Structure 1
Amino acid sequence: MEPLLTFLGNYWWLVFPLGGAAAAAAGSAAQWWSKQAKARHKRRLEIIKAKSDARAVELAARAQAEATRSRSLPPGVAESDARSRGERVKRLMATHDEVTERWLEYELDVAKVIAFPTMSDGRNPLTAAFLRAKKVADGLRPASPDARIDSETLAEYRDAVHDYEVAFDVAEQEARRVRDSGFTDAERKRLERAQHLLQVAVDQSASASERQLAYRRVREELDGLITLSDGAVENLEKRVAPEIEHRRPESP
Structure 2
Amino acid sequence: MQPLFDFIEGYWWLVFPLGGGIAAVAGSTATWWSKESKARHKRRLELLQAKTEARSIELQARAQLKAAKTTADPDDVAAEDAANRRARLTRLLDTHDDVVRRWLDYELDVAKLIAFPTMSDGRQPLTAAFLRAKKAADGLRPAGADVAVSAEELAEYRTAVNDFEVAFDIAEQDARRVRDSGFSETERKRLDRAQQLLRTAVDQSATAAERQVAYRRVREELDGLISLSDDAIEVLEKQVARAIEPRRDPLPPS
TM-score (norm 1): 0.67
Alpha-carbon distance in 1 for matches of 2:242, 2:106: 23
Residue 127 of structure 1, CA deviation:
0.2
Alignment map for 1:98-247 (pairs within 5 Å):
98-241=98-241
The one-letter amino acid paired with 2:115 is A
Partner of 2:57: none
Alpha-carbon distance in 2 for matches of 1:244, 1:128: 37
- Per-residue CA shift, 1:181-231, capped at 9, x if unaligned? 000000000000000000100101111111010000000000111110111
CA contact (8 A) 2:110 2:236 kept: yes
CA contact (8 A) 1:197 1:214 kept: yes
TM-score (norm 2): 0.67
CA contact (8 A) 1:237 1:244 kept: no
CA contact (8 A) 2:118 2:124 kept: yes
Matched residue count: 174
Unaligned runs of 5+ in 2: 1-72, 246-254
The higher radius of gyration belongs to 2
Residue 244 of structure 1, CA deviation:
8.7
Alpha-carbon distance in 1 for matches of 2:167, 2:243: 40
Matched, 1:92 2:92: yes
CA contact (8 A) 1:208 1:241 kept: no
Residue 243 of structure 1, CA deviation:
9.3
CA contact (8 A) 2:203 2:243 kept: no
- Secondary structure of 1:241's counterpart equals helix
CA contact (8 A) 1:122 1:128 kept: yes
Alpha-carbon distance in 2 for matches of 1:242, 1:90: 37
- Per-residue CA shift, 1:13-51, capped at 9, x if unaligned? xxxxxxxxxxxxxxxxxxxxxxxxxxxxxxxxxxxxxxx
CA contact (8 A) 1:191 1:222 kept: yes
Alpha-carbon distance in 2 for matches of 1:189, 1:116: 15
Alpha-carbon distance in 2 for matches of 1:188, 1:204: 27
Residue 241 of structure 1, CA deviation:
1.9
CA contact (8 A) 1:211 1:241 kept: no
CA contact (8 A) 2:201 2:210 kept: yes
Unaligned runs of 5+ in 1: 1-72, 246-252
- Per-residue CA shift, 1:133-167, capped at 9, x if unaligned? 00000000001101111101100000100000000
Alpha-carbon distance in 2 for matches of 1:94, 1:242: 32
Identity of aligned residues (%): 71
